[in-house]
Structure 1
Amino acid sequence: MDIQTLTDKFNNTIKGNSWWAKFANSQFIQMMGIFAGQIIYIAQNYASRALTEGFISTATKRTSILAAAEDRGYVGRFIIPSTGTIQVTNKSTSTITAPAGMEMLTNDQTVITLLETRQIKPGETATGLQVSQIEKVSVDYPVAAQTPFLTVLLDTDLTQEVADLSVSVISDGGEVEWKLNPLFRMSRETSEHYVMVYRPTEQLGVRFGNGQMGKMPPAGSTVRMTVSASRGDYTLAINQPLTPAGDYATLASVLDIKNDSAIRSGAGHETTEETRNRAQYYVPYDGQVVWGGDYRYYIQNKVPNLAWLNVWGEQQQEQATGVQDVSNINKIFFCGHRPGYSQAEVQAMIYDAIGTIPNEMNKRYQYVPVNEKPFAINVTGIAKKNVILNEAINEIKDTLEKNFGHDSSKFGELFENDSSSNRIYAQVKVKDLWNAIEKLGIMISYDIQLNGFTQAVNLNDFVYLDLTKSTFTLNYP
């Protein structure tokens, strides 16, 4: 409603009143029209902005995005702790057991935890012991009364460090660990199940059943949430000293400990945009992984920053090889690339991820190493007069590297579905190279020649652009 319309309404309203009629068409009425118009304008803008927060695709506030994600039952990826190995030397005259769960401190007071138990003889140096940058933290919550769908939350600070979470209930019968069941599927009144929730307040929590689908923790019991807390993206260089701490501080005088490999490979929480994009297409399920898309989603959720990933099964494997082999029955194949990591490390990460799949039945898994197929290009062109040639070349290189290079994060957006074979893999297309340069708007004309470019034929073929072997020649008109 505009100001003139409001002014006319004010004038028409007061003309029917003998006292107020004298103010008709006065500056006072004009001021009231302007004042009311501003209020309506502000209210309309506020309502319009508030409306956008109601949709996860247009929301700008993180709390709105998290609220929409919670409505969909989505809980983002936890922190992935850094891992590595250590060597331990026994300086005493007796055999000492280095127990799993032993916490050690680095020079910057970061907690490193031993993941395996090893007996070490006097004077012996044990190498290759697996460690992780985690710290166990327990939070207890007393249950005053049985409550349907009781929800227990961690505080915001601890939530930001969660790498793993287990839940147990302590009652007269002792401490019993309850099982995560994301949808309370097949849960009965006696099923000791819970689901996880992530609130817009940046708090991770667990929710129990209502006595019909899922058991309620009894009154007087205690809910214990045991958190593996981690800093996530943490790196410790090789040969750094580690000191036993906490309950194991007495071992500091008899054990000489240092890491014999770099402690790394961690990753932080999802970003807001990751949560927005994942939650839009997330369908709540009970952790079962059946289809190829399920495996792809599951692995990408468990192993972040994979630049390239392919998953295929028996049918696709035999179509690719042209050979029917009984060893392919119920076998699922994986192939992936993560920047900065070897194929052995990527294989270990994927195997660790699929090792937590429930009810895997009789499926068998096989990792196939990436078959890298780099190609180069020769770019010649005429640049616009208002650009600097060196800067133009660098801008072209950066754009091509970002979209088609060895460590590009864009391969997930290039999935090509070949309906004739049902094969799904990332494929660089020649037209995409032209489009990427064209969008920069710095060239009058240009030409691209390909060197060594081949199509992805096998399911583990990883085609990418090698800029180190590419040439760029630009001139002015």
Structure 2
Amino acid sequence: MAAGSGNFDYTNRDYDALVASLLDTAALKLPEWTDRSDNDLGRLLLELFAQVGDVLLYYQDRIANEAFLATAVERRSVIDLLGLIGYTLATPAPAAVDLVVTARNDTTTPLLVPPGARFATEAAPGRPPVEFSYLPVPSVPLSLPRDGTGGTVTATLTCLNAQQIADEVLGTSTGDENQGFRLAQRPVLLPRDPDSKEYLAVEVDSGGGFERWERRGTLLQSRSGDPHYTVRIDAEDGAELIFGDGDRGRVPPAGATVRATYLIGGGLRGNVGARTVTVAKPGVNSPVDVVNPLAAAGGAERESIEHARALAPYVFRSRQRAVTAADHAAQAESVPGVARAIAVSPSWNHVDVYVVASGGTAPGDRLRAQVLAHLAGRAMVTTLVSVRRPVFVAIGLEVTVGVEPTFYRADVRSRVEEALGALFAVERLEFGQSFFLSKIYEAVESRSGVAYVQVTAFTGVRSDPPGQQVEPTAGLIQLQPREFPTAGARVVRTEGGLA
């Protein structure tokens, strides 16, 4: 840099730094300008330039940050970055529930439950019903024989918290390479496995009837005549189908009609409790009673940026293979609907994977089958993998809270219950986690309006064997590696304060 041209610190680029740099440069370039008061026109011009520079440099920093996984904050940037290593962010996952359907045996007409039949929870003020659909594979009705001899007949069916969009026409092919067709509804549900045939069916009619095409994670291995396509999920959970270029994947012929059948919905709200799905929507050919003996499980929101940022590099390092116990756990956690997983090896060629579903519940049979199928293609050939339910330890609490004189008891009670509930959020819990009594005091005492707190009961109860007590030792409930903490019975009493 030439002498007298001024030195700039390009790492200090906020408004104040730019104003100071411009004033220093002005002293070198325009020594005759000596009035630098806030009222001076030259000072005003410098400050305007500094403001523009501050805004431009802010956006330059933002753009630079979006180029790195550790600093990116926009979902579309994370999607693009992880796409470079073959990792796709998981879509929402639908909760699954087993329903027991009961009908009167007063006729010889079979009870028919068609695909798409819907069942729901009871609606309440401010709480819309949660619907579940019967979506069997293959898509055939459930037929339950009746002989008219009286009594009742029952059947058990698995339903999903999802809505099926059937035979949606996406458009007509132009015959061009790499054509894209967008699905109209969102959020689209897709399995983690890119080669899965679940949830999404795409058909192309070239004039001789509709032909089923197959989904692939990438078209790099596809040949020119293969009826393959890929799916690209955007930041708003919309989906676009991408077809081949004639060399890698077939091009749909010009004029061909493209249609799709797919699922939308999912999310945590589908994890409803036991005996809450009691409403049968129109569609079944006879009046029925319906109930879910067990809670729904497996519903999850779309994968968060934080989860993908933590999990994707690990999955990439293992090259989508499960060799170590940690590999098996990471692969299991990549399945939508799985919140936590741990893998243990009881013998040299056997791996037990313990899974907790989203919402901190036990996984249902459907979710366990999905995890097993996901691991089957990634584990070593000689490894026997089992997916198991963990032993839950319900942490029971009785808490007495003293309320400050100027606070209402009901408000403080609500804040305390919120604090205790946050302690059992599944994202904060781990297998084998030690649960300290001091954490209870810390959480409650941090809430405004709490004068003092006394924990009068602090116990754990195992789910297997049912009802087995886990007594604390020195203010600590110690869990075994295959045990997972969950919220148990909780009693909060308040005293003092305002009524």
- Which of the five TM-score ranges fits, normalised by the shorter chain? 0.5 to 0.7
TM-fit CA distance, 1:143: 1.5
Q: Provide the residue aligned with 1:334 in structure 2.
A: 353
1:214 maps to which of 237, 249, 258:
249
In 2, Cα distance between the equivalents of 1:435 and 1:91?
57
Q: Provide the residue aligned with 1:297 in structure 2.
A: 330
Q: Provide the residue aligned with 1:460 in structure 2.
A: 482
Q: Which moved more, 1:180-189 or 1:284-293?
A: 284-293
2:181 maps to which of 123, 132, 152:
152
Q: Provide the residue aligned with 1:312 in structure 2.
A: 344
Deviations 1:60-112 (A, max 9, x none): 44444444444554232333144331425368854336255143465869563
Q: Provide the residue aligned with 2:13 in structure 1.
A: none
Q: Provide the residue aligned with 2:59 in structure 1.
A: 46
In 2, Cα distance between the equivalents of 1:260 and 1:392?
37
In 1, Cα distance between the equivalents of 2:47 and 2:117?
69
Q: Provide the residue aligned with 2:49 in structure 1.
A: 36
Q: Provide the residue aligned with 1:84 in structure 2.
A: 98
TM-fit CA distance, 1:227: 0.4
TM-fit CA distance, 1:226: 1.6
In 2, Cα distance between the equivalents of 1:168 and 1:291?
40
Q: Provide the residue aligned with 2:297 in structure 1.
A: 265
Is residue 165–residue 262 contact of structure 2 (8 Å, CA) maintained in 1? yes
**Which amino acid is the alignment partner of residue 240 of structure 1?**
V
Deviations 1:304-363 (A, max 9, x none): 363x53222353xxxxxxxxxxxxx753313244587875x5455323432455647675
Q: Provide the residue aligned with 1:113 in structure 2.
A: 134
Q: Which moved more, 1:39-48 or 1:268-277?
A: 268-277
Please list, as runs of the form range in 1=range in 2, the aligned pairs for 1:174-189 lying within 5 A after superposition: 174-184=209-219, 186-189=221-224
1:129 maps to which of 150, 153, 156:
156
**Structure 2 CA distance for partners of 1:274 and 1:82, relative to 1, 3 Å:** farther
Q: Provide the residue aligned with 1:143 in structure 2.
A: 173
TM-fit CA distance, 1:270: 1.8
Deviations 1:202-228 (A, max 9, x none): 422233333344333333333332202
In 2, Cα distance between the equivalents of 1:259 and 1:336?
28
Q: Provide the residue aligned with 1:196 in structure 2.
A: 231
Identity %: 13
Q: Which moved more, 1:292-301 or 1:361-370?
A: 361-370
**Structure 2 CA distance for partners of 1:196 and 1:286, relative to 1, 3 Å:** farther
Is residue 141–residue 223 contact of structure 1 (8 Å, CA) maintained in 2? yes
**Structure 2 CA distance for partners of 1:194 and 1:333, relative to 1, 3 Å:** same
Q: Which moved more, 1:276-285 or 1:116-125?
A: 276-285
Aligned residues: 426
Q: Provide the residue aligned with 1:256 in structure 2.
A: 287
SS at match of 1:87: strand
In 2, Cα distance between the equivalents of 1:269 and 1:98?
33
Q: Which has the larger helix fraction?
A: 1
Deviations 1:365-384 (A, max 9, x none): 435553456789999xxx9x
**Structure 2 CA distance for partners of 1:426 and 1:176, relative to 1, 3 Å:** farther
Is residue 205–residue 257 contact of structure 2 (8 Å, CA) maintained in 1? yes
Output the aligned Cα RMSD.
Answer: 5.3
Is residue 127–residue 260 contact of structure 1 (8 Å, CA) maintained in 2? no
2:384 is the counterpart of 1:370: no
Deviations 1:172-231 (A, max 9, x none): 454333333324464333333333322235422233333344333333333332202335
Q: Provide the residue aligned with 1:277 in structure 2.
A: 309
SS at match of 1:189: coil
Is residue 347–residue 367 contact of structure 1 (8 Å, CA) maintained in 2? no
What is the TM-score normalised by the length of structure 1? Answer: 0.66
**Structure 2 CA distance for partners of 1:368 and 1:96, relative to 1, 3 Å:** closer
User: Which consecutive residues of structure 2, in runs of 5 or more, have no partner in the other structure?
Assistant: 1-16, 124-128, 191-198, 459-470, 492-499
TM-fit CA distance, 1:151: 3.2
In 2, Cα distance between the equivalents of 1:258 and 1:465?
31
Q: Provide the residue aligned with 1:75 in structure 2.
A: 89
In 2, Cα distance between the equivalents of 1:228 and 1:287?
26
Is residue 119–residue 277 contact of structure 2 (8 Å, CA) maintained in 1? no
In 1, Cα distance between the equivalents of 2:92 and 2:20?
56
2:22 is the counterpart of 1:6: yes
**Which amino acid is the alignment partner of residue 182 of structure 2?**
L
In 2, Cα distance between the equivalents of 1:465 and 1:135?
34
Is residue 167–residue 259 contact of structure 2 (8 Å, CA) maintained in 1? yes
In 2, Cα distance between the equivalents of 1:95 and 1:411?
51
Q: Provide the residue aligned with 1:322 in structure 2.
A: none
**Which amino acid is the alignment partner of residue 334 of structure 1?**
V
**Structure 2 CA distance for partners of 1:138 and 1:332, relative to 1, 3 Å:** farther
In 1, Cα distance between the equivalents of 2:441 and 2:412?
16
2:70 is the counterpart of 1:57: yes
**Structure 2 CA distance for partners of 1:109 and 1:230, relative to 1, 3 Å:** same
User: Which consecutive residues of structure 1, in runs of 5 or more, have no partner in the other structure?
Assistant: 16-20, 245-251, 316-328, 413-424, 470-477
**Which amino acid is the alignment partner of residue 258 of structure 1?**
D
**Structure 2 CA distance for partners of 1:279 and 1:205, relative to 1, 3 Å:** farther
**Which amino acid is the alignment partner of residue 333 of structure 2?**
Q
